[in-house]
Amino acid sequence: GGVTQFSSVSALTPNEFRKFASSVKTDGAYAIGGSIVTDATVTMPASVNQLNIGQSYSGNRINGWVKSLRYYPTRISNSELQRITS
């Protein structure tokens, strides 16, 4: 396949907790703390076989924990992304 990076979260301060949600199909959006960022067109690689959580395309990794992770097999609406991160 190929590499696609859709979202990037700014640096966190120590002991900071953030709610983050992302949804992608032919368009995409992500929300952090109820604020939303959208992208009208998202090009997904033909063959996706890996999803990295907490790692950038350049290999940088988070220095922290993922408290909860949920997967939905369909594109969640932008309003739902905002609701679950508020």
* Predicted TM-score (pTM) above 0.85: no
Distance CA 11, CA 27 (A): 25
| DSSP structure class, residue 35 | E
Residues ≥6 apart with Cβ < 8 Å to 56: 5, 8
Classify burial at 29, counting beta carbons within 10 Å of its beta carbon; exposed 0-12, middle 13-18, buried 19 or more: buried
pLDDT tens digits, the chain, 86 residues: what are they? 445 555 556 666 777 788 888 888 888 888 888 888 888 888 777 777 777 777 766 777 777 788 888 888 899 999 999 999 99
Beta bridge mates, 22: 30
